Structure 1
Amino acid sequence: LAVTVALLTVNLFSDGMRDLSPVLTVIGPVFWMALPLVGGSLARLRGDYLEAVKARAEHAEHTREEEARLRVTEERMRIARELHDVVAHHLALANAQAG
């Protein structure tokens, strides 16, 4: 802020820019002072955006892995229930025939 005020003061009272309007004399230094600030802000925002995209991708991968494990567990449970039913049926049948 102090540098901007100093540049504005120097530009308003310097002889090199007497032919320009006061508005252009003020806008020029402010523009050149704001340009690196805007560029830095944009770079920071892009970095934050890329980090967010990376975090979402990692979360999606983790969720997919958990979902796959859950599906495998459910399939194993279904097979175990089916095997239990078949074995129980055969044992009941054998018991009935033995009786």
Structure 2
Amino acid sequence: MIKKTLAALMAFFALSCWAAVDVNTATAADLDSIKGIGPGTSGKMLEERKASPFKNWADLVDRVPGIGDKRASKLSSEGLTVNGEAYKPGSTAGNVEKKPAKASK
């Protein structure tokens, strides 16, 4: 009986370690705990979040320099979420702003 109780407790704690970190509610330490996010990236995320919370992954990719589709996918697999949602490949497609062409002289 004790072994079963101990096993259940260990399973509970193991699952709690894999808890998702939501970019809109996380602290700098929470973000830094995600493999692939360091102090520089977490600082950029928190700075952008001050302006307004991230609506979705496309919004995060657009607003945080250094995060593209490939990196978003990796961060999501490490436990990062946006509004509780994991990254879905292709969810940011077509969301890139087109910059005006430079006028030639």
Q: Which has the higher contact order (CA 8 A, sep 6+)?
A: 2
Q: Which structure shows the higher helix fraction?
A: 1
TM-score (norm 1): 0.31
TM-score (norm 2): 0.29
